[in-house]
Amino acid sequence: MKIINFDSNFKKAVAKNLVMFLVCVAVSTALSFFLISYMFKNSVNKEASSQISTVSAISANVSKNIFDGSNKIADIAEEVSPSVVHINTEIVQTIDNSNIEFFFNNDQFFKRFFGFSPFEEEMPRQPLQKKSSGMGSGFIISDDGYILTNFHVVKNAFKIIVKTKDNKECIAKLVGKDTYSDLAVIKINEKDLKPALLGDSSTIRPGEWAIAVGSPQGLDHTVTLGIVSALSRQIPELSNVSFIQTDAAINPGNSGGPLLNIKGEVIGINTAIMGTAQNIGFAIPVNVAKTIVDQLKSGQTIGHPWIGIAMSPVTKEIAEALGVSAKTQGIVISKVLPNSPAEDAGLTEGDIIQRIDGKRFIDSKELQTYIKSKKIGENINVQVLRDGNIVGKKVKIGNWQEN
């Protein structure tokens, strides 16, 4: 075996080259680390700066578009206040007392001891009348004294007193009403009044600002702020329209007052609250009023297309109860009102509407909207599922009656 021996000079050269190599590697690694750190830090700073700029831009945009100045709401309230009125009413209620027994009627004391009762021949009875008072709000819609409010504010009132912003009291008269939508127009003999600006309720969205102005508990020209909570709320007990829901504080006395947007335009007529909850109020969309206000001002009767049914979409539970397939779709008729177009046409409870004029419906609101789009007296072709068979009926659109 051959053994190779290295002299001392060679060993020194190798050691020197190895040290230089290690130094180069160390310097290169440090430089690479520095460059990477610098690039990463620069990138993070740019991203953070971009995010801060974006947030600042959003904040500035929100501030500019929603609250352009700290007095935005106060300015709106001041601007609309002359258009909002307080309404007091005096009401007479007639009470039927034909079923009320007088204290001595059929008294056994007289019959037992005298053999007769002087009260056996019943005296004629006059209906009882009870006087009461009410209050609400309204807003001016023309400079010559026309005011829009809820019908329930002035219902059965024999005297209507309107108080304006300057505390002037005026006697008003009812010129038009629509019980279907719970709207009414009253008039005072005043000129050069300031009407409120009417907006477009079809463009509003949940989350937009809402301002209520009115007379809660008689505290006139009270201003409250909230948002539009939801749209198209159905409350048949109140009205036949789809309501705007808001969390702006509404209380008894606010009825008939305006619900405003952030531009100061009327988007709704405050109508009711949910008594079992807080901050759940309802307003009639102003577009409903805009379509009938001219007719109300002239005292015309408002026509409302109607066929006279209560209905709901078919669910699996309803399908099971009716004994049809769980996959069945349509609108089930839960009630047919007497003397209605639906009854005249032969529709019955339990019928499942499949099509109207060839159009399929699975949503009650869509069906109701379709009926409202028809003219009174017009015929529609209704196909219903009854006892497993499709039955066709021709229904003549009628005019909704209050009773």
Return the closest-CA partner of residue 283 out of 234, 252, 246, 249.
246
The enclosing H or E element of 77 equals helix 72-80
Strands 128-140 and 359-360: unpaired
- Residue with tokens 């079809």, as numbered in its chain: 202
Chain centre distance of CA 189: 33
Strand partners, 222: 214
Compute the half-sphere exposure of residue 313: CA atoms within 13 Å on the CB side of its CA. 12
CB-based burial, 92-122: b 16+ in 10 Å, e otherwise: eeeeeeeeeeeeeeeeeeeeeeeeebeeeee
Residue 66 has a CB neighbour count (10 Å cut-off) of 11
Whether 347 and 334 have beta carbons less than 8 Å apart is answered as no
Return the closest-CA partner of residue 210 out of 251, 247, 242, 241.
247
CB-based burial, 351-361: b 16+ in 10 Å, e otherwise: bbbbebeeeeb
Q: Where would I find the H helices in 284-350?
A: 286-297, 316-322, 341-345
What spatial distance separates the first Cα and last Cα of the chain, rounded to whole Å? 125
Residue 176 phi, psi dihedral angles, 5° rounding? -160, 145
Question: Which positions are annotated as active-site residues?
Answer: 152, 182, 255
> Distance between CA 72 and CA 70 in Å, rounded?
6
